[in-house]
Amino acid sequence: MKKLISLCLVIIIMLSVAIVGVSAKETEPHNVLHFDTNTAAHWDEEFEKVYCHIWEYGKDSFFNWQSRREKCTDEDGDGIWTYNLDDYEITLEDGKIYACIFSNEHGKQTYNLIFDKTVLGDTAYCDGDYFDSPESIKYYNAYWRNQDKELDGFGPELYITSDGFVVGTCIPSLTTASEIFEEFLVDSFEYAGLYTGQSDQTIIDNIAVKLEFTVEDVVNSLHNTEVYAQWSWYNSPVEMGGYTPLKGDVDGDTYLNILDATTIQRYESQLTTLCDKALANADMDGDNVVSVLDATIIQKELSQLS
């Protein structure tokens, strides 16, 4: 009889633990965002406050910067701070894109971190890198632990720095990679080479590879912005895409100009060499020989265009 009573007590205790576990799981907040400050290197050794500045992408933020309603909590003291959206009556909607910035009271902060409501409950972390932002302030890149670092995924908003480096991984659905690239061409490309000592070819090729561009994409952006670059399509490592080379474009800058005729003349005089792509494009009369006659044809076409 005593054994039976003991067994019943064990069963009751186990059921009680299970019920408590289920209740705790049901009450655990899901409408939250976490930030692991342990991964934010050099984020000042001592800080007491962490904030989550949040907004619908392309619109105003829900609350003022570092206001009371943006405060996060770290109840366990483990360095993982939590922002509970329910505490501030924030409801994210299906199909909408949002962004947030985690910061502390000493001015350290992440760059725009893109997400939607499916990311709720995830934890943001830093990889230790920071970069010059559009406002010339150093920002930390932060990522979501359960999100892939893809251009169409969620994570730090993709940005091209003033010196031509691509940082971040997320291109929000409200913009395009081409728009980001064209903004860089207009605002910063002129100075990127001065900052880094790199050639136009290297800067554009590096960006094109990161953005998964084709030659057609690069050419369209250059022409849309009317920015001239010393960049040749036949020297680029990116795929051609749907780009059809302009006949006579011997230097590969995607334009027909007097430099193309001059390049042919220099080639015939053995002052320069041409790759196979350039040779094929330089053969204006189709006789399989690149000569001064091809340069003359280009000059005639240019005179008709002027």
Q: What is the chain written as a DSSP string?
A: -HHHHHHHHHHHHHHHHHHHHHHHHHHS--SEEEEEGGG-TTS-S----EEEEEEETTS-BSS-TT-GGGB-B-TT-SSEEEEEGGGGT--PPTT--EEEEEEETTS-BBPPEEE-GGGTT-EEEEEEEEEE-TTS-EEEEEEETTS---TTSSSBBPEE-TTS-EE-SB--TTS-HHHHHHHHHHHTHHHHHHHH---HHHHHHHHHHHTT--HHHHHHHHHHHT---S--GGG--S--TT--PPTT--SSSSS--HHHHHHHHHHHTTSS---HHHHHHH-SSSSS---HHHHHHHHHHHHHH-
Using alpha carbons, list the distances in angstroms from residue 63 to 51, 60, 71, 195.
11, 9, 11, 37
Per-residue pLDDT, 11: 46
| Spatial separation of the C-alpha atoms in residues 110 and 97, rounded to whole Å | 18
Q: Are 244 and 250 in contact (CB under 8 A)?
A: no
Q: What is the mean pLDDT of each run of 10 residues along the chain (306 residues)?
A: 47 46 48 95 85 96 97 95 96 96 93 95 89 69 92 91 90 92 96 92 97 96 94 92 89 88 90 88 89 89 78
Per-residue pLDDT, 4: 47
pTM beyond 0.75, yes or no:
yes
Per-residue pLDDT, 2: 47
Per-residue pLDDT, 21: 44
| Spatial separation of the C-alpha atoms in residues 231 and 222, rounded to whole Å | 10
Per-residue pLDDT, 133: 60
Per-residue pLDDT, 63: 97
| Spatial separation of the C-alpha atoms in residues 237 and 225, rounded to whole Å | 22
